């Protein structure tokens, strides 16, 4: 061990990285055909039925050798603005332009840039939510104060608009970060609830940071493919005044996680501030990837990809929900978004009713899962004791159908022996 803890602090593996590290000790390698990664945070990246061919070439221009604008190339920023106007702002007077878009190398970097711009506010968050928020928030705790908002199982672990407004007023919330669709619960705030979120942000001048990385993974209550994506962009009145920052990219909905390409869409002044923060953090995204990204968002290709995605993933979603039910594992809620099932294992016999034990046992069957406690975002570990999500597990249907099915069968046989 060469690390002197006075010089370099110990950093534990978080969330999915821990899962992968533990599985690797038992022989897991990415793409290993005899492992089922139901812990996986990425969608399958190969060919799926009905989707346009995967992009396989990248074209360079001499200008790509130079630094680009910190917020991204003018061309890609405009393409992203057009994408939002086409999907969410038809018939609305106020439209997004290139000035409303900032580009970064991946979602986590964009979120980190945004957190770096926050002043001395009360920053609200919910649990369970995306594991990386914990570290991202902790890096800035000397400036802003994290505030946990109450979200109940009955509400699908999401914060109702009534609760949000009450908390914003009574606790002086200046910003709220939330993934929608939610990783890990698959809950989607949409329609009138999403409209209310936008109204609360507007009325109380609260910055609403909507992490919409799973915006195109939308299903009906019955599990059928949703008719289209969901974004807070539909409920913005004035694109330059409403304090909504929408964060998304190519990682999940376009199935190019390795490209590391994300964007934030919001009021031009906020976008400019994010760019200023980025100049000290990362210096801007790769011009090569930005050039390639324009082809991904070409309307016919983008719609072809995301329509096919909803069809393919709804099949896997339904398969998983059904199999888990048969195993006495209850999805709550049954996902209307993402590619995850957030499920209670309370009814399983002890000690398998604890996420950590379930995870360790499933690894022996070459199946990876993620213990629910990992999503108990807890900046500074201020809350003590056993996590309320100790008996919860996140199951991913990100891998191809056959592999998901194999993983579920293995879990069934694991439980049939131990029950
Ligand atoms: C809710 C959410 N936001 C953002 C990200 C970050 O994506 P990226 O891999 O582009 O950093 C993820 C990835 O797991 C996610 O689940």
Atom of ligand 1 nearest to the CA of 16: 14
Residue with tokens 């190398």: 105
Q: Are 247 and 215 in contact (CB under 8 A)?
A: no
User: In the chain, count of helices (H) and strands (E)?
Assistant: 11, 13
pLDDT tens figures, 207-263? 999 999 999 999 999 999 999 999 999 999 999 999 999 999 999 999 999 999 999
Tell me the pLDDT band of 41, cut-offs 50, 70 and 90.
very high
Asked if residue 130 has its Cβ within 6 Å of ligand 1, the reply is: yes
CATH of segment(s) 15-49+310-418: 3.90.1150.10
The average pLDDT across 90-114 equals 98
Cα separation, 88 vs 234, whole angstroms: 5
Report the pLDDT value the prediction gives residue 184, as an integer from 0 to 100.
97
Asked if residue 337 has its Cβ within 6 Å of ligand 1, the reply is: no
Pick from 23-32, 353-362, 373-382 the range whose average pLDDT is largest: 353-362
Residue nearest ligand 1's atom 7 by CA: 107
- Residue ranges matching CATH 3.40.640.10 in the chain: 62-302
For residue 121, is pLDDT > 80? yes
Atom of ligand 1 nearest to the CA of 106: 10
- Residue ranges matching CATH 3.90.1150.10 in the chain: 15-49+310-418
Report the pLDDT value the prediction gives residue 2, as an integer from 0 to 100.
77
Asked if residue 330 has its Cβ within 6 Å of ligand 1, the reply is: no
CA of 213 to the centre of ligand 1 (A): 6
Asked if residue 41 has its Cβ within 6 Å of ligand 1, the reply is: yes
* Listed residue (182, 225, 216) closest to 340, CA to CA: 182
Token pair belonging to 326: 């048969």
Token pair belonging to 366: 């070459």
Asked if residue 107 has its Cβ within 6 Å of ligand 1, the reply is: yes
The average pLDDT across 188-203 equals 98
pLDDT tens figures, 371-394? 999 999 999 888 899 999 999 999
Report the pLDDT value the prediction gives residue 5, as an integer from 0 to 100.
84
Report the pLDDT value the prediction gives residue 174, as an integer from 0 to 100.
98
Q: Are 304 and 52 in contact (CB under 8 A)?
A: yes
Q: Ligand 1 pocket: which of 128, 252, 264, 377 to mutate (most atoms <8 Å of CB)?
A: 252
For residue 418, is pLDDT > 80? no
Question: Domain 62-302, what fold?
Answer: 3.40.640
Asked if residue 106 has its Cβ within 6 Å of ligand 1, the reply is: yes
CA of 39 to the centre of ligand 1 (A): 14
Q: Are 130 and 154 in contact (CB under 8 A)?
A: no
CA of 178 to the centre of ligand 1 (A): 12
CA of 111 to the centre of ligand 1 (A): 9
- 168-172 long-range contacts, Cβ below 8 Å, gap at least 24? 168/124, 168/200, 168/204, 168/206, 169/204, 171/122, 171/124, 171/147, 172/122
CA distances from 186 to 104, 106, 107, 156, 208 (A): 25, 21, 18, 9, 19
Atom of ligand 1 nearest to the CA of 262: 10
* Bridge partner list, 124: 147, 176
Q: At what angle do helices 191-204 and 161-171 cross, to 10 degrees?
A: 10
CA of 106 to the centre of ligand 1 (A): 8
Asked if residue 179 has its Cβ within 6 Å of ligand 1, the reply is: yes
CA distances from 197 to 201, 209, 385 (A): 6, 11, 32
pTM of model > 0.85:
yes
CA of 37 to the centre of ligand 1 (A): 17
CA of 191 to the centre of ligand 1 (A): 23
The average pLDDT across 44-57 equals 97
* Listed residue (122, 129, 271) closest to 213, CA to CA: 129
**Percent of the chain predicted with pLDDT > 70:** 99
Q: Which of 140-154, 203-217, 300-314 has the lowest mean pLDDT?
A: 140-154
For residue 111, is pLDDT > 80? yes
For residue 419, is pLDDT > 60? no
The average pLDDT across 133-141 equals 92
Q: Which of 44-58, 105-119, 140-154, 221-235 has the lowest mean pLDDT?
A: 140-154
Residue nearest ligand 1's atom 13 by CA: 41
- Per the prediction, the chain carries an average pLDDT of 96
Tell me, rounded to whole angstroms, the distance of Cα 383 from its chain centroid.
24
Backbone angles phi, psi at 143, to 5 degrees: -105, -45
- DSSP characters for 264-321? EE--HHHHHHHHHHHHHHT----HHHHHHHHHHTSHHHHHHHHHHHHHHHHHHHHHHH
**Percent of the chain predicted with pLDDT > 90:** 90
């Amino acid at each position: 061990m060469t690390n002197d803890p006075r010089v370099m602090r110990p950093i534990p593996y978080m969330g999915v990285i821990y899962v992968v590290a533990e599985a690797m000790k038992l022989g897991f390698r990415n793409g290993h055909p005899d492992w089922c990664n139901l812990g996986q945070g990425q969608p399958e990246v190969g060919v799926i039925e009905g989707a346009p061919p995967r992009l396989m070439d990248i074209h360079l221009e001499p200008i790509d050798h130079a630094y680009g604008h910190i917020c991204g190339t003018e061309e890609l920023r405009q393409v992203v603005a057009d994408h939002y106007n086409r999907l969410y702002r038809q018939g609305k007077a106020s439209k997004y332009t290139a000035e409303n878009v900032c580009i970064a190398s991946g979602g986590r970097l964009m979120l980190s840039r945004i957190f770096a711009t926050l002043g001395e506010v009360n920053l609200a968050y919910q649990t369970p939510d995306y594991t990386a928020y914990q570290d991202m928030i902790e890096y800035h705790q000397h400036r802003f104060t994290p505030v946990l908002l109450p979200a109940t199982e009955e509400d699908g672990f999401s914060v109702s608009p009534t609760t949000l407004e009450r908390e914003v007023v009574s606790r002086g919330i200046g910003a709220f970060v939330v993934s929608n669709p939610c990783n890990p619960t698959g809950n989607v705030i949409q329609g009138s609830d999403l409209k209310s979120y936008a109204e609360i942000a507007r009325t109380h001048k609260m910055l609403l940071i909507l992490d919409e990385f799973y915006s195109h993974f939308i299903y009906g209550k019955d599990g059928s493919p949703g008719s289209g994506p969901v974004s807070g962009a539909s409920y913005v009145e004035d694109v330059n005044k409403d304090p909504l920052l929408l964060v998304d990219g190519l990682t999940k909905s376009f199935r190019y996680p390795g490209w590391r390409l994300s964007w934030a869409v919001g009021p031009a002044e906020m976008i400019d501030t994010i760019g200023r923060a980025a100049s000290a953090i990362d210096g801007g995204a790769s011009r090569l990837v930005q050039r390639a990204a324009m082809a991904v968002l070409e309307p016919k290709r983008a719609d072809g990809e995301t329509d096919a995605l909803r069809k393919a993933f709804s099949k896997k979603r339904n398969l998983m929900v059904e199999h888990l039910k048969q195993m006495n594992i209850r999805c709550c809620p049954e996902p209307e978004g993402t590619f995850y099932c957030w499920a209670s294992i309370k009814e399983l016999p002890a000690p398998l009713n604890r996420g950590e034990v379930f995870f360790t046992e499933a690894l022996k069957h070459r199946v990876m899962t993620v213990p629910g406690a990992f999503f108990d975002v807890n900046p500074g570990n201020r809350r003590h004791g056993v996590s309320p999500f100790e008996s919860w597990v996140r199951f991913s249907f990100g891998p191809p159908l056959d592999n998901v099915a194999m993983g579920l069968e293995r879990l069934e046989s694991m439980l049939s022996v131990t029950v």
